[in-house]
Amino acid sequence: MAATFGPLRDDAADDEVVGIGMEAEAPRKEPIRVLVVDDHALFRRGLEIVLAQEEDIQVIGEAGDGSEAVDKAADLLPDIVLMDVRMPKRGGIEACTAIKEVAPSAKIIMLTISDEEADLYDAIKAGATGYLLKEISTDEVATAIRAVADGQSQISPSMASKLLTEFKSMIQRTDERRLVPAPRLTDRELEVLKLVATGMNNRDIAKELFISENTVKNHVRNILEKLQLHSRMEAVVYAMREKILEIR
């Protein structure tokens, strides 16, 4: 892990972070409250300095390891937890699961140097809503925080490519046995899930199906509850695994 704030560049990155399924929400009146978690104090300080320049983002606390992060999340109830994967005492993946239990409303973005596919998959399974590499620019950190706070999942382009490659391999390996979409979902819920998996937001889904946005939100909530998923990103993974969404 880099011990300095260097990997976050001040210049604009060539590739933008990939976003999935942003939900339309009313403009925020209060700043987005962020908990920064990293085992290097200098990196945490660098993030605080960068985010302090954003009027709509407020760093409300910091932690140096996963165990401290869980305690701070329970006390502070942040909107966003910006957390590394590899840390002492308790790693970011394990802490992610625990934070979702003590602060269910908190959305977690992994900000790490780890480009291991296993870490990405485990983070998604643990409930992370974003997975960003520390090579992204400083501007993109704030942009990603805003997007996740508004209901979008964020992932670095190189990791998104690995994720899609794994999905393709997964589908090819299961071609002999057709996987049946979960029978617990209604036909309408399956329609909504397919559109969620293509990256459509609630407003566009409502227009596509000629229903209200509130109805779409209720369907999405029911889908996540029925399938025991934590986020729209996990719904995309599920849809691809069950061949509800075909990748060409």
Inter-residue contact 129 to 107 (CB < 8 Å): yes
Architecture of the domain spanning 174-241: Orthogonal Bundle (1.10)
* Highest mean pLDDT pick, 17-21, 151-155, 211-215, 231-235: 211-215
In the structure encoding, which two tokens stand for residue 215, read together? 């109805």
**pLDDT on residue 10:** 46
**Mean local confidence (pLDDT), 224-230:** 83
Inter-residue contact 153 to 130 (CB < 8 Å): yes
Closest CA to 63 of 83, 47, 93: 83
* Beta strands at 107-112 and 130-133: parallel, antiparallel or unpaired: parallel
**Mean local confidence (pLDDT), 124-131:** 88
Structural domain spans, the chain: 18-160, 174-241
Q: What is the pLDDT of residues 142-163, one digit of tens each?
A: 999 999 998 888 887 777 766 6
The CATH number of 18-160, from 3.60.21.10, 3.60.15.10, 3.40.50.2300, 3.10.20.440, is: 3.40.50.2300
Q: What is the pLDDT of residues 174-225, one digit of tens each?
A: 554 444 444 478 889 888 988 887 778 888 899 999 999 899 999 988 988 8
Which sign does the torsion angle of CA 200, 13, 247, 149 carry? negative
